[in-house]
Amino acid sequence: MKTIPALVICTVFALQGIAQQKVNPRAHMVKSPLSAEKTQMLCKPWKLDTIEQFGVAAAVNAKEQNDGMTFLPDSTFFITREGVPGTGKWKPTWGNAVSVSFGDPATIMLFKIVSITDARMVMTYQTPDLITYTYTYSAKPKKQ
């Protein structure tokens, strides 16, 4: 008689394990990488116009007046930060996010594209200590 309750308990646990499926709880939040249209808009030279921190937007200062980014379709990009030029790699990650690495390849920054048109782009970046910066760029005019 002791084997019947043990058999029932084992069966219940086995059925419970089979019934449960491994589901990613964030699956509904995952979006595909940038669309082809947004990637095409992104891949051009951008000039930094303003930086917003704690809800206060400020025009670029003298050190940042030539700052900007140029994304290329081959996943490389050029950046000038505080007047210092650099190069790196970029890739779309999820939704409207772009991960970039420059300088130290182990340092990856995640930028979220808030909005993008042919003429204007707004991106946010959150630092490891949870400070969010909003960068507004304008498309650099093509040289003729």
The enclosing domain of 105 has a CATH number of: 2.40.128.280
Check residue 21 and give its pLDDT: 42
Tell me whether residue 18 is exposed, middle or buried, using C-beta atoms within 10 angstroms of its C-beta: 0 to 12, 13 to 18, 19 or more: exposed
Question: Predicted confidence band at 97 (pLDDT cuts at 50, 70, 90)?
Answer: confident
Check residue 131 and give its pLDDT: 92
pLDDT of 129 higher than 80: yes
Flag whether 25 is in a domain: no
pLDDT of 117 higher than 50: yes
In this prediction, residues 89-93 reach a mean pLDDT of 88
The owner of tokens 């991106």 is 123
Check residue 1 and give its pLDDT: 53
Flag whether 51 is in a domain: yes
In sequence order, which ranges of 20-139 are alpha helices (DSSP H)?
Answer: 36-42
Which one has a higher pLDDT value, 2 or 137?
A: 137
Q: Give percent above pLDDT 90 in the chain.
A: 35
Flag whether 126 is in a domain: yes
Instruction: Convert the pLDDT of each residue in 8-48 to its tens digit.
Output: 444 444 444 444 444 444 444 444 567 888 888 889 999 99
Count of Cβ atoms closer than 10 Å to residue 117 Cβ: 10
Q: Structurally, how many domains does the chain consist of?
A: 1
Between CA 67 and CA 15 the distance in angstroms is 60
Check residue 13 and give its pLDDT: 44
Flag whether 98 is in a domain: yes
Give residue 106's domain range: 30-139
Check residue 47 and give its pLDDT: 95
Check residue 115 and give its pLDDT: 92
Q: Which residues contact 103 (CB under 8 A, 6 or more apart)?
A: 86, 88
Flag whether 18 is in a domain: no
Residue closest to 134 by CA, chosen among 124, 119, 121, 144: 124
In this prediction, residues 84-103 reach a mean pLDDT of 85
